[in-house]
A and B are shown apart, each in its own frame.
Chain A
Amino acid sequence: MKNKILFYCMMFLLQVLVFNKTFFFNNLILTPIIIIFLLWNHKKNSLFLLNIAFIVGLFIDFFNNSHGIFSLGLTLFVFIRNYWIEFYFVKDKISANVFFTSYEIGIKSFFYYSIPLIVIFQSFIYLIEIDSITNLPSYLIKIIFSSFFTFALILLLQLLFFKSNKKYEWR
Chain B
Amino acid sequence: MQLLYRILVKNHYLIYFLLLVCISFFILINKNVYFQSSYFNSSNYVIGNLFEFKTSITDYFLLKELNNKMLIENNALKKRLLELKEIEKNIKKSNFIIHNKFDLIPAKIINNSVSNQNNYFTLNKGYNDNIRVGLGVIGSFGVVGKINSVSANFSRGSSLLNSRLMIPALLGEVNTICTAKWISRDPETINIMYIPKHINVIIGDTVFTSSFNSVFPSRIPIAVVKNINESINSNFLEIIANLIEDFYSISYVYVIKDKLAKEKKLIELKNEK
Interface contact B21-A47, CB-CB below 8 Å = no
Chain B residues with CB under 8 Å of A67's CB are 27-28, 30-32, 35
In the bound complex, how far is the Cα of B27 from the Cα of A133, in angstroms? Answer: 25
Chain A residues with CB under 8 Å of B96's CB are none
Inter-chain contact total with CB atoms closer than 8 Å: 47
A155 within 8 A of B: no
In the bound complex, how far is the Cα of B30 from the Cα of A67, in angstroms? Answer: 9
B12 within 8 A of A: yes
B13 within 8 A of A: yes
Interface contact A50-B27, CB-CB below 8 Å = no
CB nearest neighbor in A for B14: A79
Question: C-beta contact mask, B5-18 vs A, less than 8 Å → 1, else 0?
Answer: 00000001100110
Within 8 A of B (CB), among A74-109: 75-76, 79, 82
B-side interface mostly: helix
In the bound complex, how far is the Cα of B21 from the Cα of A79, in angstroms? Answer: 11
Interchain CB contact (< 8 A) of A68 among B12, B16, B31: B31
- Chain A nearest CB: distance from B83 CB in Å? 57
Interface contact A72-B13, CB-CB below 8 Å = no
- We find that the number of chain A residues with CB closer than 8 angstroms to chain B is 18
A22 within 8 A of B: no
In the bound complex, how far is the Cα of B21 from the Cα of A54, in angstroms? Answer: 9
Within 8 A of A (CB), among B1-55: 12-13, 16-17, 20-21, 23-28, 30-32, 34-35
Give chain B's interface residues, CB within 8 Å of chain A. 12-13, 16-17, 20-21, 23-28, 30-32, 34-35
Give chain A's interface residues, CB within 8 Å of chain B. 45, 47, 50, 54, 57-58, 61, 66-69, 71-72, 75-76, 79, 82, 129
- Given known contacts A67-B31, A75-B20, what 17 new A-B pairs fall within 8 Å (CB)? A45-B12, A45-B13, A54-B23, A57-B24, A61-B27, A66-B32, A67-B28, A67-B30, A68-B28, A69-B32, A71-B20, A71-B23, A72-B28, A75-B17, A75-B24, A76-B21, A129-B34
